[in-house]
Structure 1
Amino acid sequence: MAHLSGSNADLIARVRRIAGQVGAVERGLTSGDSCATVLHLVAAVRGAVNGLMDEIIAEHLEAHVARSGLTDEERAHGADELLAVIRRYAK
């Protein structure tokens, strides 16, 4: 994902925040927090992962599908990669 190198610091920061949120879920489960509390923590993780996914999809789309100068073959390959990821994510 070389095209992400410019924004990797922001993406890594997001991943670290997500890791912290997953840690909060684990702590909630081990400390006996209420189901509602744990569910809210899990929902926050899901939202954060969705935001990360959106950002990376947008970067991929711009770099491998919509960027001017791409050949038709490169554009088709980028679209195929994106479609495969979206299908896997939607399962």
Structure 2
Amino acid sequence: MPHSPEDKKRALNRIKRIQGQCEGIQRSLEAGVDCAPVLMQMAAVRGAINGLMTEVLESYIKEEFAGKLSAESESEQDIGELVKLVRSYFK
């Protein structure tokens, strides 16, 4: 979970945008909009959720494991490799 005030604010702003996108999908479904635009909105929401999940997971990895790994410079590199792997998974 993002703990710094800036990270927390950024995460909350992202989730508010995602909520707005979901409300837009709801309105589209209620109005009977064609499927293609609704599916595009849904794909955008999925991408936004994946982006938020990546940021929260990256924050967790850095905060949780940085202090538990040895103090060698390889630890930072190992964390960076793990974050890179996680980011590639969510693309």
Inter-CA distance 58–38: structure 2 relative to 1 (3 Å threshold): same
- Unaligned runs of 5+ residues in structure 2 are 71-85, 87-91
Q: Secondary structure at the match of 2:32?
A: coil
Query: TM-score scaled to structure 2, two decimals?
Result: 0.70
Q: Which has the higher helix share?
A: 1
Letter matched to residue 28 of structure 2: G
Paired residues, what number? 69
Shift of 1:70: 2.1
Shift of 1:46: 0.2
C-alpha separation in 1, matches of 2:22 and 2:69: 41
C-alpha separation in 2, matches of 1:23 and 1:37: 14
- Unaligned runs of 5+ residues in structure 1 are 73-85, 87-91
CA-based RMSD: 1.7
Q: Secondary structure at the match of 2:3?
A: helix
Q: Deviations over 1:48-89 (max 9, x none)?
A: 000000000100110112x1x3278xxxxxxxxxxxxx9xxx
* Higher relative contact order structure (alpha carbons within 8 Å, sequence separation ≥ 6): 2
Aligned match of 1:5: 3
